[in-house]
Amino acid sequence: MSEAPASAPRPSSGPPSGPRGAGGPRTGRGGPRFRRPHRKVCRFCADKVAYIDYKDGPRLRSFISERGKILPSRMTGTCAWHQRELTHAIKRARNIAILPFANE
């Protein structure tokens, strides 16, 4: 009887095991467990807003964190065009004291 030594590598006969190549019923790039969330829609594009008014404090306040920072577009879903316009409107509103620079 000849047995293989304990340190000899086993022949690979199937897909690699582990979190990325776990075969079975869920094949493919992660399967249904790792679904991408749906893309957020820009509120300004959906409402067809032509101009973001810097005097509209309540609307601008929803795009500011509790510390007074401007929220990034990946959190709010704002498109790049309206994110730039929103940033300018928030900065203008801060300069004329409609919005705070920082909350304490």
- What ranges do the domains of the chain cover? 38-95
**Which of residues 10 and 89 earns the better pLDDT score?**
89
Query: What SS3 state is found at 38?
Result: coil
Contact 86, 60 (CB under 8 A): yes
**Which numeric CATH code is attached to 38-95?**
4.10.640.10
pLDDT digits (tens, 9 = 90+) for 9-68: 666 665 555 555 555 555 556 556 766 777 789 999 999 999 999 999 999 999 999 999
List of residues 6+ apart from 53 with CB closer than 8 A:
59, 89
User: Which pLDDT does position 99 carry in this prediction?
Assistant: 92
Return the closest-CA partner of residue 70 out of 101, 104, 39: 101
Record the tokens describing residue 30, joined without a space.
């992660």
Distance CA 52, CA 98 (A): 14
pTM for this predicted structure? 0.64
